[in-house]
Amino acid sequence: MLKVMIVDDEAIVRIGLKSMIDWESHGFQLVGEANDGQRALDLFQKNKPDLVITDLKMPVMDGLQLMRHLNELDARCRVIVLSSYDEFSLVKEAMKLGAADYLLKLEMEPDQLVEVLSGFKSEILQEREEKTQQAQIDEEFQINLSALRRVFLKELLCTDDLCGEKLQQGLERLGIHLDPSKVYCLVLRIGNAYRLENMSADEANSTANAILSICAEVFGDDYMSYCLQRNETEFVLLLSPKKASGIMAEMVTNCQRLLTFLEQYLSLTAVIGIGDEAKSYEEIRTSYRQANQAIQYRFFKEYDQIILWNKVKLLPAPLETYSVHQYRDQLEKAFRQNQVDELSSLLEAISHDFAEKHLSQEACCHGALELLSMICEIIDRQGLQPEEILTSSYQTYRELLQMVNLSQVLAWLEELKKDLAQFVKEEETKNYPRVIGEAKRYIREHHAEQVSLPEVAATVGLTPSYFSTLFKEHLGMSYSEYLTLVRLERAKELLKETYYRVYEISHMVGYANQYYFNRLFKKVVGLTPLDYRKSENNCNKSK
């Protein structure tokens, strides 16, 4: 549907035009009418019609003045002028101003009007189609150009093959405009990478595009800038300042704005490394490596989120590998023998390694993960649950690898030391040998079998007689009494929660003789197994 506006100072002419044809059936919509050029101009800017049918002689602003104003606005609409027999000089002037056609008021017929309008309709629709196609071509070209630029710039950053005339030609062909004597390379590393890893492909792509857009917004006014994504969490900016003074201070200020926007709009934290100024295209690779290396110092030196290579280049390089394996045997011995001081001393030595060896983030986090796995294995071998002992320091694999600075790792090590010391001290105050815990666990796991006292004693490394004495001393009951208690508690659970027959439950808890099981159950519980099940069912129904 094309939009049409009618302009004439005579109401009868406007009414005649509106009623002459069924506009909508011919694909036109009347969006306004005016009685002078000034009013028409105001309506035009509001409604943006495709066709303007205007008289030439009008008060306030005539048709020619209206056309001049439309040309100044670059209106790109068709203008049909209305004239009388004595106005051919005005029509001639109107055609010079770009009028598409003219109609004589006194001779205008509906068919003539439809014919003129239909011709313009075809032209306008064709132009729209061509414009849409051209927009698609331009968009595809820009997408392809952006992709080619990204590939080219990645090659520039990562390989030494792109240099000299080949490099210069590539920059010119792709329209990459950087000042070869003054280029800065910035590396943006996303901190909470797990958020990106958990996104769908579409979400991750949308987030990456948002990051690129924010970078362009922040640096676009003051720099010739190009931003590309190197991998899931790393973005690189190449910048050439448009003015010569206050470059570094202004760049740091813009970096702070960028970090603020990322956190405010995308809830992402990040760190930025800035390499030294590249004084040629070939030096961009060096600046990129410097920016990447600068970021490594964020972990163990805890600099701000913006790190200049010039400020850290004289510091020792981060150590990329580290292992706590050397402490393994000593840690296990200290834990088994309840040596609190030795445990604390060993963990302090590991903390000292982490603090003084200038470990990279990856080396430090993997060292922490290795230590946690080692401690959990030691605890598990003692028949204990790591989560129950490491109440404050138990971490998942992902949580350990996502620690963003050395302080977090050292704080975790301190919590680990406290947890282990607390457990050992409690064991000492309880005067509760760990072998008793191991024996109870073994009995619970094997109560359905014909498990004997000598078998359990052998499992915990004691003689049967000494184990029997130690067991009764600490639990206040004999081995056989404890085994009976475990079996009957399990039988009660099965009676309440399952539909197994009594003889089946008897076998499931370690009694081959159902009659013996019945007598024993009634003696200890006060009810036969069937009566116990009925009483529990009645209780559940009453609830």
Task: Determine contact, residues 530/514, Cβ cutoff 8 Å.
Answer: no
Q: Quick one: pLDDT at residue 394?
A: 86
pLDDT averaged over every residue in the chain: 87
Q: How does pLDDT run across 298-312, given as a tens digit for each residue?
A: 877 666 789 999 988
Between these two residues, 292 and 542, which has the higher pLDDT value?
Answer: 292
Q: Which residues contact 85 (CB under 8 A, 6 or more apart)?
A: 104, 106
User: Measured between alpha carbons, how far is 31 from 470 in angstroms, rounded to an integer?
Assistant: 100
Task: Determine contact, residues 238/185, Cβ cutoff 8 Å.
Answer: yes
Q: Quick one: pLDDT at residue 119?
A: 87
- Its pTM stands at 0.51
> Amino acid identity, residue 478?
S
Q: How does pLDDT run across 431-467, given as a tens digit for each residue?
A: 556 678 888 889 999 999 999 999 998 887 778 898 8
Q: How does pLDDT run across 145-172, given as a tens digit for each residue?
A: 788 888 888 888 888 888 888 888 888 8
Q: Quick one: pLDDT at residue 323?
A: 94
> Amino acid identity, residue 43?
L
Burial of 442 by CB count in 10 Å (0-12 exposed, 13-18 middle, 19+ buried)? middle
Q: Quick one: pLDDT at residue 282?
A: 87
Alpha helices in 431-528 (DSSP H): 434-446, 453-460, 464-475, 479-497, 502-508, 514-525
Strand order in the sheet with 234-241: 223-229, 234-241, 184-190, 270-274, 306-308
Mean pLDDT, range 244-256, rounded to an integer: 86
Q: How does pLDDT run across 59-93, given as a tens digit for each residue?
A: 999 999 999 999 998 888 999 999 876 778 888 89
Using the predicted structure, report yes or no on whether residue 258 has a pLDDT greater than 90. yes
Which of 137-141, 258-262, 288-292, 493-497 bottoms out in mean pLDDT, i.e. has the lowest?
137-141
Q: Which residue has the tokens 């051209």?
A: 134
Mean pLDDT, range 245-272, rounded to an integer: 90
Mean pLDDT, range 404-430, rounded to an integer: 85
User: Measured between alpha carbons, how far is 415 from 421 in angstroms, rounded to an integer?
Assistant: 10
Q: How does pLDDT run across 373-414, given as a tens digit for each residue?
A: 999 998 887 767 888 889 888 887 777 777 878 888 999 999
